[in-house]
Structure 1
């Protein structure tokens, strides 16, 4: 190759290749010119949206977001301010936007002008920090609070001494792969995590178990749970959980009568169903507030489990009286899970004592 070849360097200066340079040498010179890095300007949603628009997009109001930020901010601060590092507030908002939409991470990244790989790292980090708040916001009521819970449940349909309602719900996930992938395929044919939820009369989640694959039965999850051990040891005071026919009847867990024959048994079942419906409403509110739980999670299993717990915490913080979201029910989760009843003898006796005392 002969003659002069001129090309533009990254700094704008012209440079000439030797007249004896080969085509390959010139291409190598051009190939090693680094690409200019572009830092995109990021908008502040607090300034961009009013209160109503903000709540629609992030499912929490601005004041609540700031309260949550104060609890986890120190663990989200970047180590350096180089290259316009993402602030703790924007990290939290990116995660909330993912919870609120359940969409692909590249779409969330485009909204905040952040690369999808950065979004992935942020969601994992923030979700973990939120999940660590569980002991503060997901806990079983005690003492005077337990009395208030019983009173509120009794006011629903006259069922006595109810301390919580229990149910299982499936959170769709992508196939985790590996030899154990089929363990996550539930009875409906899709991959999921089977989550055990206990709620109070205000639709708040007071206990959650989020670690079992979708093929696991509700009764198996309950028997292996910590709350089961506490109830067996009588550490949660007197009272009953209400569960559907997927659970065995125990002294601390009341289930419906399988084949009611008397008017009292029918009244018992009616009161049981109306009261236990609260947990289905609670699950419906939770999934409606954070659609990522309904649409399916495509994160790793560990991150998925953290997302489930983190959204449960945020849901508890967001629940206010007369919240319109709670009109949504979690349809069809429990009715087709019925198993043949083989109740504990003492639990069966206690159930009929309740029927004779309160519903006869």
Structure 2
């Protein structure tokens, strides 16, 4: 009995010592967070390399989401809005595991996870409206001119493509998320303008979903069917259906005009592949080479849209990637193109043939 009581007493002392050591670590981490402000210490180029945005843009974000990140709790050392925002931006920029990234920031894995969730939801709430399709005649004319300057194709309003974003394998319905390349992913539909700015991002489909199905069930397709494009066209690869408002290449370019159209179509549409490559390079959490998003589908969808919004913000203010990352690859995780003649609509074929005849001669 005495031996048993001694063991219990020693275990009790060990638990008290562990709690005491943990409290010391918590105090040290909190002290560092409260006395070390990266925005005051790091130069501009370091801030851009670490967080992918400029100092002014980070302050703009902080002012917008500050009220939503204040934690009204009675405990000491609550994370400030600035710490939460910088932690989330650092996660977007690197895609590191929460445990590894938290050690460098003085945060526990759970605290970092909560911070990323809170910041992502707050950014969605305040900035989702900043991604929109051109609506006014002046906006449409500007986008048309940007695409025309690439390869001479007129009345192009956007370039569309699908890309795979690797995610953590879901516990529920996991097989639906396994793409044809063999890993769990979300298939994301992206539309951009000639400058690589995202006009629309649809992030909700499991990895085994084909581009044509995503497009046919998107709000953008329904809007296009109601003449939202005002006689303009999207450019898509052969994995998309041919519509009067979505032009794809000829599957068999058996004439000079058709071959010329296909070349100019590919040259113009390549802007979306470069845009996706730059997006994944800027925010490495999206890159399969960095491990992808180690999150479940719902959180992954939110992070994908938020990083697209932040990418647009960086392009708006001409925030360049670090010099060592300027050599940007094309999107390596695009869905495979699968031509399907059954997806070609007669009205779409007529519009494409008329365009080719006007530009290059009878197809």
- Secondary structure, aligned partner of 1:207: strand
1:183 maps to 2:179? no
1:337 maps to 2:337? yes
Per-residue deviation, 1:326: 6.9
Equivalent-residue separation in structure 1 for 2:107 and 2:184 (angstroms): 30
Deviations, residues 143-164 of structure 1 (Å, cap 9, x unaligned): 1111100011001100010000
1:217 maps to 2:215? no
Which structure 2 residues correspond to residues 321-360 of structure 1 after superposition, within 5 A?
A: 321=318, 323=320, 327-334=327-334, 336-342=336-342, 343-360=344-361
1:281 maps to 2:284? no
Larger % of helix: which?
2
Equivalent-residue separation in structure 1 for 2:67 and 2:163 (angstroms): 34
Q: Which runs of 4 or more aligned residues in structure 1 lie more than 3 Å from their structure 2 counterparts after TM superposition?
A: 24-34, 320-327, 331-336
Match of 2:193 among 196, 200, 213: 200
Equivalent-residue separation in structure 1 for 2:99 and 2:11 (angstroms): 33
Per-residue deviation, 1:307: 0.5
Higher relative contact order (CA 8 A, sep 6+): 2
**Corresponding residue for residue 43 of structure 2:** 50
Q: Quickly say closer, same or farther: Cα 1:53–1:25, change in 2 above 3 A.
A: closer
Match of 2:146 among 152, 156, 161: 152
Equivalent-residue separation in structure 1 for 2:358 and 2:157 (angstroms): 19
**Corresponding residue for residue 312 of structure 2:** 316
Per-residue deviation, 1:135: 3.5
Q: Quickly say closer, same or farther: Cα 1:263–1:321, change in 2 above 3 A.
A: farther
Equivalent-residue separation in structure 2 for 1:93 and 1:225 (angstroms): 33
Per-residue deviation, 1:329: 3.5
Q: Quickly say closer, same or farther: Cα 1:231–1:27, change in 2 above 3 A.
A: same
- Secondary structure, aligned partner of 1:83: coil
Count of residues in Structure 1 that have an aligned counterpart in Structure 2: 342
TM-score where L is the length of structure 2:
0.88
**Corresponding residue for residue 110 of structure 1:** 103
Q: Quickly say closer, same or farther: Cα 1:332–1:24, change in 2 above 3 A.
A: closer
CA RMSD of aligned residues (A): 2.2
Q: Quickly say closer, same or farther: Cα 1:333–1:267, change in 2 above 3 A.
A: farther
Equivalent-residue separation in structure 2 for 1:268 and 1:26 (angstroms): 83
1:307 maps to 2:306? no
**Corresponding residue for residue 92 of structure 1:** 85
Equivalent-residue separation in structure 2 for 1:244 and 1:25 (angstroms): 70
Question: Which structure is larger by alpha-carbon Rg, 1 or 2?
Answer: 1
Q: Quickly say closer, same or farther: Cα 1:299–1:239, change in 2 above 3 A.
A: same
Q: Structure 1: state its 5+ residue gaps.
A: 3-20
Per-residue deviation, 1:335: 7.7
Deviations, residues 120-156 of structure 1 (Å, cap 9, x unaligned): 1111111111122354221101111111000110011
Q: Quickly say closer, same or farther: Cα 1:334–1:28, change in 2 above 3 A.
A: closer
Per-residue deviation, 1:357: 0.4
Determine if contact 1:245/1:341 at 8 Å carries over to the other structure: no
- Secondary structure, aligned partner of 2:250: coil
Determine if contact 2:163/2:331 at 8 Å carries over to the other structure: no
Determine if contact 1:281/1:326 at 8 Å carries over to the other structure: no
1:293 maps to 2:286? yes
TM-score where L is the length of structure 1:
0.89
